[in-house]
Copies of this chain bind each other. A is one copy, B any other.
Amino acid sequence: MQSACFTAETTTNGVIEHDFTVGGVTGAFWSPQRADRAPLVLMGHGGGNHKKSPAMLGRARLLALHGGFHVACLDAPGHGGRPRTAHDEREIAAMRQAMEAGEPVGPIVVRYNAHLAERAVPEWRAALDFLLGTPWVGADEPVGYFGLNMGTAIGVPLTAVEPRIKAAVFGLHWPDALAEYARRITVPIEYTLQWDDEHIPRESGLALFDAFASKEKTLHANSGSHKELPRSESDSAVRFFVRHLEQPEPQQPDLTW
């Protein structure tokens, strides 16, 4: 077991926030006040972001307050103040150059995210060992994963190999490095894409959704560009985890025709 501990604790409007580290990897952990044992939702942040970006804080609050979940987010490798390798610096520079030259960033993002996933997947599994060993979460509580963009590039390979993850929300990524892992995922998933995404071709998003081997899966496609994901999709994710982590009975199909 790697060295791991919780550090600072703050409480804001009904949500308790802890910082923690596991083997040098920095993370944040949120709980509703007076929460007992509850399922845990892991959140993956996007590229260029960190564990307490506005999107992460917003989703953590929704999950904790509306879903009653414990929530955890790790800084991805090279993010959130974690040291960058020479490889990180080269790829970040390559992305910047491509954006400035008006060239497609997709191929670089796919390649770099796949590299980050190789580093991040074992970090997440170690963090899960640590968190499930705490008195608040407990070893038997079901675990969910919620991450878009780079959070999906890491979360799909993670969910393919980590049996403790019982449900996941993904979205907004190219299928290239991910389809082979998606075909190994059988837990319920929700996948979101933007119908007018200027970076990720629509057919690519549909193909990745199709690749998931889950018996229960849902696609949400919203009109709008890559960055115009509606806020309502976060609410949808919370309800998805409530259905799948807190209600273990399978959903009865609705008798409409």
Chain B binder among A67-75, A155-163, A210-218 = A210-218
Query: Given the complex, which residues of B lie within 8 Å of A221, measured CB to CB?
Result: 209, 218-219, 221
Residue A253 CB within 8 A of the other chain: yes
A214 with B219, Cβ < 8 A, contacts A46-B256, A55-B255 known: no
Closest Cβ of chain B: how far from A232's Cβ, in Å?
6
Which 7 residue pairs spanning A and B have beta carbons closest together? A219-B221, A228-B253, A55-B256, A231-B254, A217-B223, A229-B254, A218-B222
Closest to A46 in B: B257
Residue A230 CB within 8 A of the other chain: yes
Residue A31 CB within 8 A of the other chain: no
Query: Given the complex, which residues of B lie within 8 Å of A209, measured CB to CB?
Result: 221
Q: Which of A148, A218, A226 counts the most B-chain CB atoms under 10 A from its CB? A: A218
Query: Given the complex, which residues of B lie within 8 Å of A218, measured CB to CB?
Result: 220-223, 230
Query: Given the complex, which residues of B lie within 8 Å of A54, measured CB to CB?
Result: 255
Cross-chain pairs A/B with CB under 8 angstroms, 21 sampled? A46-B256, A195-B210, A206-B206, A216-B223, A216-B224, A217-B222, A217-B223, A218-B220, A218-B221, A218-B222, A218-B223, A220-B220, A227-B256, A227-B257, A228-B254, A230-B254, A231-B252, A231-B253, A231-B254, A232-B243, A236-B236
Closest Cβ of chain B: how far from A55's Cβ, in Å?
4
Q: What mask results when residues 116 to 129 of chain A are scored 1 for a CB within 8 Å of chain B, else 0?
A: 00000000000000
Closest Cβ of chain B: how far from A174's Cβ, in Å?
15
A230 with B257, Cβ < 8 A, contacts A221-B219, A236-B236 known: no
